[in-house]
């Protein structure tokens, strides 16, 4: 019997989806997938803040992009 694998999807309010399957990332447990998704969301927040600080006219407030993001853990 194949062992269950998990992946994450992060859905942002603007319709973008960050999916761990795009990088062939699969996890052995839901907890591992949740931790990785939290880390990815944190990186997205830091990146959005950096872009906003470098040129606020071109990049929106980062909280508007990541604040309401939804993390979904899925079974492969």
What local confidence, expressed as pLDDT, does residue 29 receive?
92
**Cβ atoms of 67 and 14 closer than 8 Å:** no
Which secondary structure element, helix H or strand E, spans residue 51, and what is its range?
A: helix 30-54
Q: How far is CA 65 from the centre of its chain?
A: 11
Summarize pLDDT for 11-62 with one digit per residue, the tens.
887 788 889 999 999 999 999 999 999 999 889 888 888 888 888 888 777 6
Residue 68: pLDDT band by 50, 70, 90 thresholds?
A: low
Ramachandran category for residue 24: left, alpha or beta (phi over 0 → left; psi -120 to 50 → alpha):
left
The domain segmentation of the chain, as residue ranges, is 6-75
């Amino acid at each position: 019997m194949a062992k269950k694998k998990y992946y994450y999807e992060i859905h942002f309010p603007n319709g973008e989806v960050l999916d761990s399957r795009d990088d062939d990332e699969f996890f052995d447990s839901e907890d591992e997938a949740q931790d990785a998704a939290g880390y990815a969301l944190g990186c997205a927040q830091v990146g959005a803040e950096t872009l906003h600080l470098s040129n606020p006219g071109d990049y929106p407030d980062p909280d508007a992009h990541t604040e309401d993001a939804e993390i979904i853990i899925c079974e492969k």
